[in-house]
Chain A
Amino acid sequence: MTKKFTKDHEWVLVEGDIATVGVSDFAQSQLGDVVFVELPEAGRELEQGKEAAVVESVKAASDVYAPVSGTVIEANQALVDDPSMVNSAAETDGWFFKIQLKDASELDALMDEAAYKAFVEESH
């Protein structure tokens, strides 16, 4: 299963019709030390590109957008308890939430890892 990325620096990993969402390692390096996350509750409907979660670093608050539309099935409680996991494991244990995909074709517009890497290098 390949990981896809958005221009807003979220990643999404799809297994079957379940998508796991987090922020990229590049995003966490830009955010700095994360001290708080606010995650969507299970059952909430998310729309692609709309606000889904909030991440606060020592510096500032940032919105996390839904990379794809769907219904939240689980939020990462371990991340709520230890927000620094966004920094230490952004693209693994530091996932934000899982959603039931509404429309798998939305994934087509997202970048693969190589394209995202090029996007980051180009824009920063």
Chain B
Amino acid sequence: MTEAATALKTTPLHALHVELGARMVPFAGYDMPVQYPLGILKEHQHTREKAGLFDVSHMGQVRLTGADPAAALETLVPGDIKGLAQGRMRYTLFLNEQGGILDDLMVTNAGDHLFLVVNAACKEQDVAHLREKLAGKAEVELLDDLALMALQGPMAAEVMARFVPEAATMKFMSYLSATFKGVPVILTRSGYTGEDGYEISCDKADAEMIARALLAESEVEAIGLGARDSLRLEAGLCLYGHDIDTTTTPVEGALEWTLPKRRRAEGGFPGYDIIHRQLTEGATRRRVGIQPEGRQPAREHTEIRDANGTLIGEITSGGFGPTAGAPVAMGYVDIANSAVGTPLTLVVRGKPLPARVAATPFVPQRYYRG
């Protein structure tokens, strides 16, 4: 093992990944499985066809308590947190004063507290941000004694029901405190693949037992970060630090759906002035789906030019979509070229590659709406 590798953190499933023959890579300070012997392509397809198990224990799980943690959190995010019913969850964004995105996160109303899941690379700064801004209003606890897994795919519900029968009727974006083979788990019906499925939060000590139990089901394969990325890209979902970051606002990022009517009217979140102005007057650029012609993928940082050859933006995520059967990408273009169908030219290794602005997702989302 190299010196760099020894400095990396590991998840409670690290030994299992190695046992399964995973290729491990550094990711957000953790030694994580990028792929298993099945390979990214088959892992991707398996998740779309059956069910895949992902270790996402590197992500941050945070508990927010206090007199009114929803009101407190609303001072940092543009989402409707006060209106979140108990047992329901939603996607929202930590914003800076310029309306830039500090991180994206899931917020669940767990009754006596809010349960947040944030990105691995941002979790320390998110917790510091929460503690600083919500001092005296909410208690912030990073739950680093917990593991997190995702079971995703059209057979995820059938598999999960064998262990947690009540999971079958959970609605998309809902939360359930349950028991899995005798140990406590928190299930949410959510994920990052565009498929139906669950995220499973549990004690670190129980993670391997749960993972082995799920992997023993004939429909389930272990899936690495490589396929996680191609699955989320096909589903049109943003990867923080790539598709959205501190320099992009929710309006530029085509995430207006995270800005509900009440918050747009009332404000009270960082960057409101800029975001309100962009909602009213429009932004100058926009995140769009991009479909390159042919089979050649266009990767992150690929230049995007308009029909006249003028540089109008760059690709922020791009690769080959195994289910789409074609290259897929997303990136930012100037607003004049952001309509679906607009022809673009991508510059790949110095050569022009024709492409078009495309609707996302690239494959239909199959969430369970009940």
Contact surface of A with B, Cβ cutoff 8 Å: 32-33, 35-36, 38, 54, 56-61, 83
Contact = CB atoms under 8 A, between A and B. Distances in A.
A36 B320 contact: yes
Interface stretch (B35-43, B159-167, B255-263): B35-43
15 contacts: A32-B39, A33-B39, A33-B41, A35-B297, A35-B320, A54-B349, A56-B320, A57-B40, A58-B40, A58-B230, A58-B320, A58-B322, A59-B34, A61-B349, A83-B295
A61 B41 contact: no
Contacts of B241: none
B35 A32 contact: yes
B226 A38 contact: no
A31 to B, nearest CB: 10
Interface of B is mostly: mixed
Interface in B304-340: 319-320, 322, 327
A56 B34 CA distance: 17
Interface string B26-47: 0000000011000111101000
Given A32-B35, A56-B320, A58-B322, A38 B41 contact: no
Given A58-B40, A59-B40, A59-B226, A36 B296 contact: yes
Contact of B319 (A54, A58, A83): A58
B286 interface: no
B40 A32 contact: yes
Nearest to B320: A35
Nearest to A61: B299
A56 B35 CA distance: 17
Interface of B: 34-35, 39-42, 44, 226, 230, 295-297, 299, 319-320, 322, 327, 349
Nearest to B34: A59
Q: Could you say which of A36, A54, A59 has the most chain B C-beta atoms within 10 Å of its C-beta?
A: A59
A18 B322 CA distance: 36
A90 to B, nearest CB: 14
Contacts of B35: 32
A117 to B, nearest CB: 21
A86 to B, nearest CB: 12
Nearest to A83: B295
Contacts of B319: 58-59
Contact of A36 (B39, B295, B322): B295
Given A32-B226, A33-B42, 20 more contacts: A32-B35, A32-B39, A32-B40, A33-B39, A33-B41, A33-B322, A36-B295, A36-B296, A36-B327, A38-B296, A54-B349, A56-B320, A58-B230, A58-B319, A58-B322, A59-B40, A59-B226, A59-B319, A61-B299, A83-B295
A38 B41 CA distance: 20
B226 A35 contact: no
Contacts of B39: 32-33
B226 A58 contact: yes
Contacts of A60: 299
A38 B299 CA distance: 15
A88 to B, nearest CB: 12
A36 B322 CA distance: 12
B295 to A, nearest CB: 5
B7 to A, nearest CB: 21
Contacts of B322: 33, 58
User: Which 4 residue pairs are nearest across A and B when measured between Cβ atoms?
Assistant: A33-B41, A35-B320, A58-B40, A36-B295
Contacts of A32: 35, 39-41, 226
A35 B44 CA distance: 14
A60 B297 CA distance: 9
A54 B319 CA distance: 15
A58 B297 CA distance: 9
B170 to A, nearest CB: 32
A32 B296 CA distance: 16
A36 B44 CA distance: 17
Contacts of B226: 32, 58-59
B40 A36 contact: no
Contacts of B295: 35-36, 83
A61 B327 CA distance: 13
A36 B297 contact: yes
Nearest to A81: B295
B296 A56 contact: yes
Given A54-B349, A58-B226, A33 B40 contact: yes
A83 B41 CA distance: 13
A36 B299 CA distance: 13
